Amino acid sequence: MRKVYVLNGVNLGRLGTRQVDVYGVTSYADLVTRCESTGRELGLDVTVRQTDAEHELVGWLHDAADEQAAVVLNPGAWSHYSYAVRDACAMLRAPLVEVHISNIHARESFRHHSVVSAVATGVICGLGVDGYRLALHHVAALASA
């Protein structure tokens, strides 16, 4: 069974209450349930985590690299400026799918660029929380190829 970490960065624990016009009404708990359920359906061993501490996210990325685990990552605001997160992502030896709930290209100009995207296998943005499901399907397809 392929190990996959679904890692969420800063402020994502506030889903369902934070800017619902941008991020929707799905709670973080519901997102976790959806990711775990999708993982089971696809035969993936999914672990979902969220942190507001950058060093903790970097540590989880190091663990994924050491385990050769795939990662579905929504770095939140760290996407746009954290070279520490980007460099930890560059160490991964399995697929990395970057996910954004909103379309970062249709928002404020400072959100248009992600430093993580250049080291990601792929990027999904603007499809709401369904982006996570699609990312897990992609990881499963790569694992069976």
DSSP state letters, 20-46: HHHH-S--HHHHHHHHHHHHHHHTEEE
Check residue 136 and give its pLDDT.
98
CB neighbours of residue 107 within 10 Å: 14
Exactly one of 23, 55, 62, 112 is catalytic; which is it?
23
Q: Which residues contact 120 (CB under 8 A, 6 or more apart)?
A: 73, 89, 96, 97, 98
Catalytic residue among 5, 28, 100, 132: 100
Query: Is the model's pTM score more than 0.85?
Result: yes
138 is in an annotated binding site: no
**How many structural domains comprise the chain?**
1
Coil, strand or helix at 97: strand
Q: What is the CATH number of the domain that holds 99?
A: 3.40.50.9100
Q: Is the pLDDT of residue 112 over 80?
A: no
Range of the domain at 58: 2-144
Residue 87 pLDDT exceeds 80: yes
Could you confirm whether 112 is annotated as catalytic? no
The DSSP element (H or E) to which 98 belongs, if any, is strand 96-100
Rounded Cα distance between 141 and 145, Å, is 6
Strand 44-50's sheet: what is its strand order?
44-50, 2-8, 70-74, 96-100, 122-125
- Residue 111 labeled ligand binder: yes
Residue 5 is among the residues annotated as catalytic for this protein: no
The DSSP code for 15 is T
Across 51-60, b (16+ Cβ under 10 Å) vs e yields beebeebbeb
Share of the chain above pLDDT 90, in %: 80
Q: What are phi and psi of 113, to 5 degrees?
A: -115, 135
- Of residues 54, 55, 58, the one with CA closest to residue 71: 58
101 in a labelled binding site:
yes
Per-residue pLDDT at 49:
98
Q: What's the pLDDT score for residue 20? A: 78
